[in-house]
Structure 1
Amino acid sequence: MLLWINGPFGGGKTQTSFELQRRVPGSVVCDPEHVGFGLHRMTPAGLRGDFQDLAAWRAGVHEVLDMVLRKHDGPVIAPMTVVRLDYFAQIIGRLRADGHDVHHFTLLAQRATVLRRLRERGLGRGIRWESSAVRRLDDCLERLQAPEFAEHIHTDHVPVAAVAERIASTTGLDIAPNNDSRLRGRLRRAAVGVRHIRFD
């Protein structure tokens, strides 16, 4: 089973994905962004654009996820923003056509909520580091409202643990109880955030 967690930058994809991995036995996170980072590192800085526009990224993500889904016994979780329907079809549509059990979720939040989350990234320096995400935020939020990007989950007032539980319930996955205290949960989420600060 593939769980593709879509949504805007700051929508909660990464936190939700690692909460699922922590609590769903046998699950793994396969982050499509790393394929893009590799392509960027191969490309001179002046030629870099949005790596999603590279056919190599879309083909590479499909190939890696197809391989993992065939060889790994547990659920595979892919946190990645995709707002173009043609790119969505080339990855998620192809994986479904290959016969994989693919579940897609879009985590949505109000603009103010997303901006607050971006500010909290990187010890308060997130807005500067995520300036491209801010520029594209309104377009991203609008596109992701499309019915093709369902199932939609609005996360403004829903904790990460509850979002993960809803996804697990929808897909029939067993999920362990959340035994974190409020402090431990905040520390865990902060650690995930720091590990995923983008420098590329």
Structure 2
Amino acid sequence: MIIWLNGTHGVGKTTTAKLVQELIPGSRVFDAEKVGEMLMDVHPGLPETDNFQHWPPWRPLVVETARHILDYTGGTLIMPMTVLVEAYWREISDGFAAYDIPVRHFLLHTDTKTLRERIMGDTVMGPSGFRLAYLVRYDKAFRGWLGAEAGVIDTTALTPSEVGTVIAGAIGVL
């Protein structure tokens, strides 16, 4: 199984993924951003873009990499990754479905004010213009397809540990 943690940059996907991993025996975290970093190493040679998800190889490589990891290790993959373009999500989820890999898609959500405060107060990464730039894109996706597609978890008043517990409970571990 794959547990996909979606949400805008800075909402707490990576932190939550590590906490969910502690709650689910035999689980591993696979950050699909590593696939994007690999593709960035091919550069120059790929068209300029502001997001590696726009490169057509990224999406099938994410599916194939996750599939091979699951074939090798078994268990559950927890994948923290922002995907705001519906066509990209369809390509990824259809790719997993073609291999009969079940996906539980969760959206970590909070209001824009709280998210801005979290991004500006991040003591690890510091304030991030990149993260702030995605707030409008996230809001559009949330109000469009994403809020209806994923299991929405409002993280506004929850700690990352509580969010992890909600996810583990939703898949029947707790």
TM-score (normalised: structure 1): 0.78
- Number of equivalent positions: 171
Letter matched to residue 131 of structure 1: G
Could you say what secondary structure the match of 1:28 adopts? strand
For residues 100 and 171 of structure 2, the distance between their equivalents in structure 1, rounded to whole angstroms, comes to 16
The Cα shift of 1:164 comes to: 0.8
- Show the 5 A alignment for 1:2-151: 2-44=2-44, 47-123=48-124, 126-127=126-127, 130-145=128-143, 146=145, 147-151=147-151
Q: Provide the secondary structure at the position in 2 that maps to 1:55.
A: coil
1:77-135, CA deviations, whole angstroms, 9 ceiling, x for partnerless residues? 00000011110011122202321121000000011111122123344x622xx312212
Spell out, residue by residue over 1:17-60, the C-alpha distance to the aligned partner (whole angstroms, 9 max, x if none): 01011232211000000111121132149934310000111111
Whichever residue aligns with residue 173 of structure 2, its letter is L
Contact 2:23 2:168 in 1 (8 A): no
Matches of 2:123 and 2:36, distance apart in 1 = 21
- CA-CA distance at 1:66 after TM superposition: 1.3
What runs of 5+ residues in structure 2 fail to find an aligned partner?
Answer: none
Provide the C-alpha distance between the structure 1 equivalents of 2:74 and 2:48, rounded to a whole number of angstroms: 39
Q: CA deviation at 1:148?
A: 4.4
Q: CA deviation at 1:171?
A: 0.8
The one-letter amino acid paired with 2:9 is F
Mark the runs of 5 or more structure 1 residues left unpaired by the alignment. 175-200
Amino acid at match of 2:167: I
Dislocated runs of 4+, deviation >4 Å = none
SS in 1 for 2:78: strand
* Aligned alpha-carbon RMSD (Å): 1.9
Q: Contact between 2:26 and 2:75, CA under 8 Å: does it hold in 1?
A: yes
Tell me, in whole angstroms, the C-alpha distance in 2 between the residues paired with 1:16 and 1:62: 21
